[in-house]
């Protein structure tokens, strides 16, 4: 049973790291600030959630489990708030969003 | 008064969950800090229906699994697009109608949009939300209005 849990945990940690890696690549490849935020969104939603879930499986029924649960909850509340604040600031302060190559060249 | 009691007991539970101490001296310090937090929040006037949206909790428990499923689906889609050499994205800005009655409802909808990869809420207006979508598919998904309807259900409890 505990071996199965360990396997599942390793799998979740692996997928978390994979999504964070892809998100980072996206951060470098995307053309402007808004599209970059979409890429960063992968790392801090699924990437972080998968890693925390993976750690929760290893933690077992201890106080650490509760703490990880609280971290996950706060992450899901704070991420969109911070992301929205950043997007709003970008709308107010930066030129209009990238909408394809042709417009970029004008 | 009931809301004060709820906040007080919740902060005590949080304190115990985070510290793990049951020593009488430390426990009394925990009680003291919980009481301070409750008092300060009361003086700030933030203990109201907006600060404690208790009515949303049963709806949230039903809504969370669906949102998690949508998040995973959208995440895989965005990840797939990032790893394509041609980078198939069509960024657009759309306006989505937000028919939620209450402020917490509208906030939940805007946060759900941002939480789903591929869509970010830029501005929350009276009756609609301005959204930046990474692809035409994610924009169309949001336009279909399923997420908005589910948040409305969440609101009505």
Q: Give, for all 157 residues of chain B, the pLDDT tens digit.
A: 888 899 999 999 999 988 888 889 999 999 999 999 999 999 998 888 777 777 788 888 889 999 999 999 999 999 999 999 888 888 888 999 988 888 888 888 999 999 998 899 998 888 889 999 998 888 888 888 889 888 888 877 6
Q: What is the ipTM of this complex?
A: 0.81
Same domain flag for B67 and B88:
yes
Coarse DSSP helix, strand, coil percentages of chain B, rounded to the nearest 5 percent: 65, 10, 25
Q: Which residues of B touch A94 (CB under 8 A)?
A: none
**pTM beyond 0.95:** no
Neighbours of A73 (CB within 10 A): 10
Which residues, 6 or more positions from B19, have their beta carbon under 8 angstroms from its beta carbon?
B26, B30
Read off the tokens for B124. Answer: 């929350």
Min Cα separation B43/chain A (Å) = 24
DSSP B102: S
Task: Tell me the average pLDDT across A83-89.
Answer: 89
* Average pLDDT score over residue span A33-41: 88
In contact, A15 and A50? CB cutoff 8 Å:
yes
Residue A16 vs residues A12, A19, A33, A47: alpha-carbon distances, Å: 6, 5, 24, 4
Looking at the fold, whether B116 and B89 belong to one and the same domain comes out as: yes
pLDDT over threshold 70, residue A82: yes
Query: Residue B141 falls within a domain, yes or no?
Result: yes
pLDDT at A103 > cutoff 70: no
Please give the pLDDT value at position B87: 87
Confidence of residue A32 (pLDDT cuts 50, 70, 90): confident
**B12 lies in the same domain as B79:** no
Residues B27, B78: one domain?
Answer: no
Residue B106: which domain range?
Answer: 56-156
pLDDT in the model for residue A56 = 93
If asked whether residues B74 and B139 sit together in one domain, one would say yes
Are B32 and B81 within one domain? no
Mean pLDDT, rounded, of chain A: 86
Q: Is residue B51 part of a domain?
A: no
Using CB atoms, which residue from A30, A34, A41 is nearest to B117?
Answer: A41
**B20: alpha, beta or left? (left if phi > 0; alpha if psi -120 to 50):** left
Q: Are B71 and B118 in contact (CB under 8 A)?
A: no
Higher pLDDT residue, A103 or B145?
B145
Please check whether residues B65 and B137 belong to one and the same domain.
yes
Q: Which chain B residues touch A if contact means CB-CB below 8 Å?
A: 14, 17-18, 20, 71-72, 75, 78-79, 82-83, 87, 89-93, 110-115, 117-123, 132, 134
For tokens 């053309």, name the residue: A31
Q: Is residue B60 part of a domain?
A: yes
* Residue at B123 is within a domain: yes
User: What's the N-to-C CA distance of chain B in angstroms?
Assistant: 23
Q: Give the 3-state secondary structure of residue A89.
A: helix
- With a cut of 60, say whether residue A102 has pLDDT above it: no
% of chain A residues with pLDDT over 70: 90
**Does the beta-carbon distance from A67 to B82 stay under 8 Å?**
no
| B109 in the same domain as B67 | yes
Residues B12 and B87 in one domain: no
Number of domains present in the structure of chain B: 2
Tell whether B36 and B61 lie within a shared domain.
no
Size of interface A-B (CB pairs under 8 A): 97
- A91 contacts B17? CB cut-off 8 A: no
């Amino acid at each position: 049973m505990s071996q199965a849990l360990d396997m599942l945990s390793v799998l979740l940690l692996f997928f978390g790291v994979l999504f964070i890696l892809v998100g980072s690549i996206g951060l470098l490849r995307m053309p402007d600030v808004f599209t970059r935020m979409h890429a960063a969104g992968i790392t801090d939603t699924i990437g972080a959630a998968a890693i925390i879930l993976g750690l929760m499986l290893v933690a077992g029924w201890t106080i650490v489990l509760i703490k990880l649960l609280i971290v996950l909850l706060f992450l899901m509340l704070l991420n969109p708030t911070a992301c929205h604040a950043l997007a709003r600031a970008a709308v107010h302060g930066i030129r209009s969003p990238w909408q394809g190559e042709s417009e970029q060249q004008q | 008064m009931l809301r004060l009691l709820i906040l007080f007991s919740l902060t005590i539970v949080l304190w115990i969950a985070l510290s793990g101490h049951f020593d009488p001296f430390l426990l009394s310090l925990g009680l003291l800090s919980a009481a301070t937090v409750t008092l300060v929040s009361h003086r700030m006037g933030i203990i109201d229906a907006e600060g404690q949206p208790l009515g949303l909790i049963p709806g949230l428990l039903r809504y969370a699994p669906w949102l998690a499923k949508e998040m995973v689906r959208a995440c895989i889609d965005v990840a797939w697009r990032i790893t394509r050499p041609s980078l198939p994205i069509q960024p657009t800005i759309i306006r989505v109608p937000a028919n939620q009655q209450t402020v917490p409802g509208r906030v939940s909808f805007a946060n759900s949009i941002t939480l789903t990869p591929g869509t970010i809420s830029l501005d929350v207006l009276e009756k609609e939300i301005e959204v930046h979508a990474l692809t035409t598919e994610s924009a169309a998904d949001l336009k279909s209005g399923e997420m908005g309807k589910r948040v409305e259900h969440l609101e009505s409890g």
